[in-house]
Amino acid sequence: MGLTKEGQAALDKIRRLAEDNGIDIRDGKVRRTSSRFCLGVEHGDYNGTELFGVATDRFIWMAYRPNGTETIRLFSGNFPGDGVVEFKLGDVPEPKSAVIAETWGRFPYGVEYILRREGYKLSQGIDGVIYGNIPGGGMSRSASLSLNLILSLLDANAIEIKDKMKIVDLAQAVENDYIGSPCGQLDQIMILFGREGMGTYYNPAKRSVEYVELGAGATDFRIVVLDTGTVRPGLEKSTYKIRRGQCEELVSILQKAGYKVSCLADVKDEALYEKIMAEFGGRYPDLCDRLKYIFAAQRRFYEMLEAWKAGDIETVGQIFRQDGIGLRDDYKISGPELETMCDIVRTIPGVLGERMLGGGDKGASGALVRAESIEAVKEAVGVAYPLSRPEFADKYAVHICKVVDGVKVYEGLL
Ligand code: GLA
């Protein structure tokens, strides 16, 4: 299958960048990795909940070919100032070191480092050019890039990993262990497994994935991403890290008090929840607010899944909205610009639900919108957002997204 218009434009750009920077991609392959949109439970992955989401059509494209040497040479059209990132296999900076903090090169360094650490012997370098249109903060740009690099390097070295969950682990390790970002596995799962037109359901107890079709007769709707134009620093520098720590702290308090829980998602039973809140709500109000969100969002998750199966997108939207309120008021992981976007779209007829997306603080909010209300959303955001947030007047963007395959490889294009 051929490329879309955006894909074609990205490829044209990649060809030019390859030529200008002396990167040889002739006869190479193109791997396209997607972004993701989570329908639940946001911030549930590191708390042990089940997950549901889709792969969306904002992408990272990488054109590459094995270069017959032991050197990796890569150029990113998104970070042209970094020039060609070039290094020998086995020779990358130390994990989390100062030299990697400011360069996108930490991703390929990290991929090489983790693959080697995990015993995958690379002997073949690649030349490659990368270009992406995934906005930062909320759509999983970093997981998309890590996965793209892992899959491309494995392919160039003719190494096949059959267990896709292993690839998820590797991509998370690149971020956790090399870059120092404390992310979970939501992003990698939704991208690596994502299928056109399908929801991806993940069960952590079995580490299994199932595809769930949206029930017939659903209202025609769009997934809308409202990029605030703000820049979200890495998760290690965000509220995200603090929230993770708080959730772990509450689990350890509960364990010491004799509760048999290994993560907050284990608090599923209403009586157990009420008991914990009565016992610890006064002493640890903040930590208990974190539990309040996870408990309620986990309950809503099953309702949301049933509604999705039934094609009842209105209910999916309402739950998305309630999750957003919980993320804002109980989990306290949203940010002022993210909430401005939500406030603007919330009352527009045809907006079924809206909330902050992903890691939090900054980045993008999202909404589920009836197809016929898309123009109204664009117009309202176009008028109100620059008025409320003039400093981001020329940086914000509205993306109307489709549900697509998470990973695609094209041959014969270069
Ligand atoms: C970021 C992290 C994910 C997940 C989400 C919140 O995208 O990378 O692991 O925790 O935030 O749901």
User: What pLDDT is recorded for position 3?
Assistant: 84
**What does the domain layout of the chain look like in residue ranges?**
5-212+405-410
Q: CA-CA distance, 62 to 84, in Å (whole number)?
A: 14
Q: What is the pLDDT of residues 213-248, one digit of tens each?
A: 999 999 999 999 999 999 998 899 999 999 999 999
User: What pLDDT is recorded for position 410?
Assistant: 97
| Listed residue (204, 203, 225, 295) closest to 254, CA to CA | 295
- For residue 2, pLDDT beyond 90: no
In CATH, the number for domain 5-212+405-410 is: 3.30.230.10
Cα–Cα–Cα angle for 92, 97, 102, rounded to 5 degrees: 90
**Residue nearest to ligand 1 atom 2, measured at CA:** 183
Band (pLDDT 50/70/90 cuts) for residue 167 is very high
* Mean pLDDT (the chain, rounded): 97
Band (pLDDT 50/70/90 cuts) for residue 1 is low
Locate the ligand 1 atom nearest the alpha carbon of residue 181 and give its number.
Answer: 8
Sequence-distant (6+) residues with CB within 8 A of 318 are: 352, 353
User: What pLDDT is recorded for position 394?
Assistant: 97
- Using the mean position of ligand 1's atoms as its centre, give its distance from the Cα of residue 239 in Å: 12
Rg of the chain, C-alpha, whole Å = 21
Average pLDDT over residues 397-403: 97
* pTM of the model as a whole: 0.98
Query: What residues form DSSP beta bridges with 74?
Result: 85, 128
Average pLDDT over residues 4-23: 96
**Residue nearest to ligand 1 atom 5, measured at CA:** 358
**Ligand 1 residue neighbourhood (C-beta within 6 Å):** 38, 42-43, 45-46, 140, 183-184, 186-187, 358-359
Q: CA-CA distance, 22 to 82, in Å (whole number)?
A: 15
Q: What is the pLDDT of residues 134-147, one digit of tens each?
A: 998 899 999 999 99
Element (H or E) spanning 86, and its range? strand 85-88
Show the tokens assigned to 72: 């990796």
Q: CA-CA distance, 61 to 58, in Å (whole number)?
A: 10
Compute how many other C-beta atoms are within 10 angstroms of the C-beta atom of residue 79: 14
Locate the ligand 1 atom nearest the alpha carbon of residue 46 and give its number.
Answer: 10
Sequence-distant (6+) residues with CB within 8 A of 28 are: 63, 64, 65, 127, 128, 414
User: What pLDDT is recorded for position 136?
Assistant: 83
Locate the ligand 1 atom nearest the alpha carbon of residue 42 and give its number.
Answer: 12
Q: What is the pLDDT of residues 65-108, one digit of tens each?
A: 999 999 999 999 999 999 999 999 999 999 999 999 999 999 99
Band (pLDDT 50/70/90 cuts) for residue 50 is very high
